[in-house]
Structure 1
Amino acid sequence: MATFSIGQIASRAELNSSTIRYYESIGLMPEPERINGQRRYSEDVLDRIRFIKTAQAAGFSIPEITVLLEGFEPHISPSDRWKELAKEKCEELEEKKKQLDNMLQVLENGLKCKCLTWSECFVKMNSDGTCC
């Protein structure tokens, strides 16, 4: 089986070598085999890196990704792991969306408002959340 240097794997994964070393240091990736002191990786490590990158892009934190990869009993399939954490992440994102929508409303109202202070604005606020 062919092995690759950290630079070769980093290039193929479109990451910096330092990112791979970081992933190893926090346990997202297992320690690689070393030959003459150099890290050597099999090609299958690219699947793990792709998984990590996909999970990060989906909004999962490093601790959440660690749980997805290692934090379940061996008999629980990766798809079941994903479903469980994805459900939790959806709930978290829905709450964040509500907060963002509320802040957007405040900002949009502020663009229309002629009040000199927030206190004045809140006093004049209509039942639908708009002012003035």
Structure 2
Amino acid sequence: MRTTVIRTEDIAASYDVVNGWTVLEVDGEVDIHTRSRIREAVLELLGEGHRHFVLDLCFVPFLDSTGLGTVVAVTKDIRGHEGSLRIACPSARMFRVFEHGGLAEAYEFYDSPQEATRQPPSPDGLARWPRPHG
């Protein structure tokens, strides 16, 4: 059953749990105007015990560098809870934002949420994520 976690005139987000993954479907632009709501939703879900996420971007027409920063911030939050993150449906333009930000290799990208959830989460879900120095 899909549960809505964000609904404003700028953005909506809902989630469902599939095969151990919390699929967070975002509908709207991911930018400076929506970044805090997306992060708050992820933090709330982490607080409820969700650990393994698929960020479903199928209904996101635009993601800019601020949106990329939001993805990085939620990745750090998820990693801090020993979770994992996959990204579904990045458009070619969106994927270029990840490439230009130097993060295309750090994430697992899937063509659909169904493909992303086919296999259950594994302990090395963010294995390619850069490790902190020190």
Larger Rg: 1
Higher helix share goes to which structure?
1
TM-score, length-scaled by structure 2: 0.22
Q: Would you tell me which structure has more strand in proportion to its own residues?
A: 2
Higher relative contact order (CA 8 A, sep 6+): 2
